[in-house]
């Protein structure tokens, strides 16, 4: 009984309700409300907007953003209903500082379920690691969003999708179910997959001493955040994908913002260091292949035969 009571005390009720009711009601809506083509397109647009999120600007300061761009991203992040940027960036910085340790807020070594949603639904049993967020504490816009987060999330996450779909093509209900709840659920679990799937499956291209991996499916769901091994190895880089053929719309968006004057000081990790990480992993891969092959013995380890021994062996060969 005491274990049940302790478990109930650890439940974080607000995020638990959001993470269970949104998909539950959204799925109900899918079975009861036809999806209109305009609503589908609008839901996709809302998805891309809300998935841009807080990550690269406020968690890692990988570029500088003008005030209009900051407001745009703060409102977009609020529409995803994943918490204020102040709390989100604090947890994420702690995750990078204490990756794979007990101090990591979403430690992948505790299992997929914990790193996916468990850490948000239950209070941790130990005090988590702290990260420096003094810059966020002094950031006027960040504190404004943190103060009015619930209002912003309600207006832009729940009310706006219904109003736009209702006012422009008379689909209030569809807007609520698809552009709000289903869109929000996909954004949630795409983001959560970075913490779970991208720490368990995929390639470790730059560093195999930590759990993060590059996972293409997660990159598709999160606008490029799935190249997680690169990101954890070079976290301050504004890019998650460095190859031209890799899917990273967030990188393209930031580059576009720089081009039009809304962003500046895009940070890129030195190519020399990136190549060193890649080469180290390639050498490890080749070493495994080398160790699996049979190689001839060292010349110095071979026996030295006398002339008499050679004559004896030759005689045996002739006789046989």
**Number of folded domains in the chain?**
1
Interatomic CA distance for residues 96 and 103, integer angstroms: 10
The answer to whether 213 and 199 have CB atoms below 8 angstroms apart is yes
Query: CB neighbours (10 Å) of residue 138?
Result: 9
Is the predicted pLDDT of residue 242 greater than 80, yes or no? yes
Interatomic CA distance for residues 187 and 51, integer angstroms: 6
233 within domain boundaries = no
290 within domain boundaries = no
Is the predicted pLDDT of residue 65 greater than 60, yes or no? yes
Burial tier of 201 (Cβ tally within 10 Å: 0-12, 13-18, 19+): middle
CA–CA distances in Å: residue 126 to residues 1, 108, 116, 274 = 22, 16, 18, 35
Give residue-wise pLDDT tens across range 243-291. 999 999 999 999 999 999 999 999 999 999 999 999 999 999 999 999 9
- Average pLDDT estimate for 95-119: 94
Q: pLDDT confidence of 316, banded at 50, 70, 90? A: low
297 within domain boundaries = no
What pLDDT, on a 0 to 100 scale, did the predictor assign at position 272? 96
Percent of the chain scored above 70 by pLDDT? 95
Question: Which residues, 6 or more positions from 286, have their beta carbon under 8 angstroms from its beta carbon?
Answer: none
223 within domain boundaries = no
Least confident of 46-60, 109-123, 264-278, 300-314: 300-314
Interatomic CA distance for residues 84 and 70, integer angstroms: 13
Interatomic CA distance for residues 181 and 293, integer angstroms: 55
221 within domain boundaries = no
Give residue-wise pLDDT tens across range 192-211. 999 999 999 999 999 999 99
311/150: higher pLDDT: 150
239 within domain boundaries = no
Sign of the torsion angle spanned by Cα atoms 186, 191, 196, 199: positive
Q: Which two tokens stand for residue 40?
A: 């589908």
What pLDDT, on a 0 to 100 scale, did the predictor assign at position 299? 77
Give residue-wise pLDDT tens across range 124-167. 887 888 899 999 999 999 999 999 999 999 999 999 999 999 99
What pLDDT, on a 0 to 100 scale, did the predictor assign at position 301? 76
What pLDDT, on a 0 to 100 scale, did the predictor assign at position 126? 79
Q: pLDDT confidence of 312, banded at 50, 70, 90? A: low
- Average pLDDT estimate for 171-189: 97
304/270: higher pLDDT: 270
- Average pLDDT estimate for 167-182: 97
188 within domain boundaries = yes
Give residue-wise pLDDT tens across range 15-39. 999 999 999 999 999 999 999 999 9
**Domain that includes residue 172, residue range:** 2-202+254-267
123 within domain boundaries = yes
- Average pLDDT estimate for 64-83: 96
Q: pLDDT confidence of 1, banded at 50, 70, 90? A: low
């Amino acid at each position: 009984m005491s274990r049940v009571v302790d478990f109930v005390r650890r439940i974080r009720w607000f995020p638990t309700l959001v993470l269970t009711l949104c998909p539950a009601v959204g799925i109900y809506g899918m079975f009861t409300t036809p999806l209109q083509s305009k609503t589908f397109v609008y839901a996709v647009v809302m998805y891309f907007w809300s998935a841009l999120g807080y990550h690269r600007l406020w968690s890692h300061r990988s570029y500088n953003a003008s005030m209009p761009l900051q407001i745009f991203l703060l409102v977009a992040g609020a529409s995803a209903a994943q918490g204020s940027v102040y709390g989100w960036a604090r947890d994420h910085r702690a995750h990078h500082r204490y990756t794979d340790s007990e101090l990591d807020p979403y430690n992948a070594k505790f299992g997929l379920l914990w790193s996916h949603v468990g850490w948000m639904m239950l209070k941790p049993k130990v005090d988590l690691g702290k990260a420096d967020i003094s810059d966020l504490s002094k950031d006027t816009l960040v504190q404004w969003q943190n103060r009015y987060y619930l209002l912003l999330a309600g207006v832009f996450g729940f009310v706006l999708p219904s109003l736009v779909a209702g006012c422009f093509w008379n689909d209030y209900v569809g807007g609520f179910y698809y552009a709000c709840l289903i869109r929000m659920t996909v954004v949630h679990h795409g983001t959560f997959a970075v913490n779970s799937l991208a720490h368990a499956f995929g390639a470790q291209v730059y560093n195999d001493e930590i759990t993060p991996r590059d996972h293409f499916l997660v990159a598709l769901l999160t606008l490029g955040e799935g190249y997680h091994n690169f990101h954890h190895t070079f976290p301050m880089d504004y890019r998650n994908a460095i190859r031209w053929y890799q899917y990273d719309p967030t990188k393209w968006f930031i580059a576009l913002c720089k081009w039009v004057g809304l962003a500046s000081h895009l940070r890129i990790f030195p190519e020399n260091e990136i190549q060193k990480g890649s080469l180290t992993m390639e050498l490890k891969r080749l070493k495994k292949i080398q160790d699996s092959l049979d190689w001839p013995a060292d010349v110095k380890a071979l026996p030295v035969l006398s002339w008499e021994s050679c004559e004896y062996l030759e005689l045996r060969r002739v006789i046989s």
